[in-house]
Amino acid sequence: MYRKKKTAVVSTTNDISTNEMHDDKLLHDLNPEQKRAVTCSTNQSTLVLSGAGSGKTRVLTSRIAYLLKHFNVKPYQIFAVTFTNKAALEMRHRISQMLPGVQLNDMWLGTFHGLANRFLRIHHKMAGLASDFLIIDTDDQLSIVKRMIKDEMNANNFYTDKPKAIVNYINKCKDEGKRSTDIISNKENKFKQLIYTKYEKYLREENKVDFAELILLTKELMEKEIDLRIHYTKKFQFVLVDEFQDTSTLQMDWLKLMMDRDDENKIVRNCFMAVGDDDQSIYAFRGAQCINNIDEYLKVLYLERENTEHIIKLEQNYRSTNIVLEAANAVIDHNHSRLGKNLWTDIKNGEKITLFQASDATDEAEHIVKTIHDFNHRHPNIPLSQIAILYRTNAQSREFEQALMNGGIKYRIYGGIKFYQRAEIKSALSYLRLIQNENDNDAFRRIINFPARAIGKATLEKIETGANEKRCSLFSYIRCDPVLSKQKKILEFIKLINECKQRILENDVPMELYEQALYIFEQSGLMESYKKKQEVERLQNLSELCNAMKQFSQLYNTNDLTQYLSTIVLDTTNTQDGKLDTTDEIERIQMMTVHGAKGLEFHYVFIAGLGKFI
């Protein structure tokens, strides 16, 4: 049933001499605790508590390289989870540099969602999906739920829940491992429950999955199919998880299913390494259960808090001055549920932390702008892009924007409308989605009349009604209906999709991915529509999308449209998403939420709005 590989015998740490370890280039420049984490036994699972700026990514990368080089571990035996796709690509690149010539294609390295996508693509039939299933984002979820609410209103069902609240409810249920059938309906959740039930049915019929569904379906399949679970627990001898503090309950349940237990359930035979920092848990609102998952991890792997072989602490910070660390340690020390560590650094002195108590938000913003001017005057060589203003919520940015504009300081808000959320990009991708999968009704609805084709509201309603009655997709219905298929505008749309599909998917001479996109954008009239309206920025964004597709092809060595559409939904690091804009020639202050600043570094930071009730 599953692809078999010859079992590789894994060596133990004792097979490597001390001299050999000291001479290893992989260990150069690592501090003693980092070396312990990299070279720890292959027979012992561990928890690595890694403080901010302590080099955890380097440790994880070196650990994987060390396993491959010294313990006869094969890439296919490694299952490594990162927080972002960008981190996964960087780790893969670093390992390739450390071990030239080692092929890493068989190694499972990516985010939870990316790895679940890979798993479900392989086992799509067992999961009840077609091989070309589509992953939808939160915007798609919201559109689907809004349409369902409208249908219920037309059916005279009273509702009080907002669409976004219902989407959050559905995602929360899935993150807790609950299907609509698992939840008891009551007065408070009755309408949400009704929409959740319809939503699940709709996604199944449309061959679509949302983010939470990727993990939930993978977990359910591993639970249900015993042989499948045994296959993967034997296959993955080494499981490594980065940013473990941000793991959700559902993700933790999946990890537990990856444990190769003995018949008496007393020993876990594969080796786990979780790397995280309980002091940096900031995603509880997304379902992360830091303390619970750490306690559960220690329990199921039979690890003891006081055993230094079980818990390794990386406490040397390479990023901040001792002044910053002492302040951070003093604040976090009030959290009594933490496992405990004390960051230290060799970087002495540095600027002192200043505290300013403002009378109101306007006073605070004006003080920050004045301080930026003073700092820029004293340190003209430090660019404005190395100065950041952090706040709790995006709503707090308005006062700072006004003050910066009044002060003549350029700024950039990080985390505004993302590239793939722009209307022109959504429309462009909808053309690609419909060509890749004619049953994608959401893509059909977006582009059937865009650019404008003079297809009236009555015709669109007739298509919806007819497709529902025939229980077929919207595109299938217009192609088969004897009346609609002869209407000039409808016929032109059918011809457009068919010709693009034939040119791209069925052509004997394969097209580059970006060439596919250019061809579709030109044939569909998208480019011409924006040119006529002189919408230069939208045209530039379409051009940037083609560039992103070209980069994707080079990075992943593929022109597969299905793989591209799946990856961009999961990967928020493409183009301008998930990173600072380094293409802007104008130096600007960086403004973002505390959550948006995760993983970024700046020379000078303002932490604003430290009010109790903000």
* pLDDT tens-place string over residues 431-469: 999 999 999 999 999 999 999 998 989 999 999 999 999
pLDDT higher than threshold 80 for residue 417? no
Residue 50 labeled ligand binder: yes
Residue 55 labeled ligand binder: yes
**Cβ distance 107 to 80 under 8 Å?**
yes
* 95, 166, 321, 466, 471 from 186: Cα distances, Å: 53, 15, 54, 35, 31
Indicate the range of 52-56, 106-110, 158-162 predicted with least confidence: 158-162
Residue 553 labeled ligand binder: no
Band of residue 537 on the pLDDT scale cut at 50, 70, 90: confident
**Strand, helix or coil for residue 558:** coil
Percent share of the chain, pLDDT over 70: 91
Report pLDDT for 102: 92
For 294-310, what is each residue's pLDDT tens digit? 888 989 999 998 898 99
**Domain covering 13-122+215-314 in this structure, CATH number:** 3.40.50.300
Query: How many CA atoms does the CB half-sphere of 447 hold within 13 Å?
Result: 30
Contacts of range 402-408, beta carbons closer than 8 Å, 24 or more positions apart: 402/365, 403/362, 403/365, 403/366, 403/368, 403/369, 404/365, 404/369, 404/589, 406/369, 407/369, 407/370, 407/372, 407/373
Band of residue 337 on the pLDDT scale cut at 50, 70, 90: confident
pLDDT higher than threshold 50 for residue 286? yes
- The token pair that represents 303 in the structure block: 């690890």
Arithmetic mean of pLDDT over the chain: 87
Helix, strand, coil percent values for the chain (each to nearest 5): 55, 10, 40
Residue 57 labeled ligand binder: yes
CATH class of 361-414+580-607: alpha beta
Cα gap 475→494, rounded to integer Å: 8
- The token pair that represents 436 in the structure block: 């890749």
592: part of which helix (H) or strand (E)?
strand 589-593
- The token pair that represents 82 in the structure block: 């990162």
Report pLDDT for 576: 37
pLDDT higher than threshold 60 for residue 16? no
Residue 54 labeled ligand binder: yes
Q: In 3D, which of 342, 375, 345 has the Cα closest to residue 606?
A: 375
Domain with CATH 3.40.50.300 in the chain: 13-122+215-314, 361-414+580-607
Query: How many CA atoms does the CB half-sphere of 368 hold within 13 Å?
Result: 32
Cα gap 435→441, rounded to integer Å: 12
Residue 187 labeled ligand binder: no
Domain with CATH 1.10.486.10 in the chain: 419-558
Residue 51 labeled ligand binder: yes
**Cis amide leading into 451 (omega within 30):** yes
For 567-583, what is each residue's pLDDT tens digit? 888 864 333 333 444 44
Residue 53 labeled ligand binder: yes
Report pLDDT for 4: 47
**Strand, helix or coil for residue 271:** strand
**Cβ distance 394 to 593 under 8 Å?**
yes
Name the most confidently modeled range: 122-131, 561-570, 598-607.
122-131
| Topology annotation, domain 135-206 | Arc Repressor Mutant, subunit A (1.10.10)
Report pLDDT for 158: 64
| Topology annotation, domain 419-558 | PCRA; domain 4 (1.10.486)
Domain with CATH 1.10.10 in the chain: 135-206
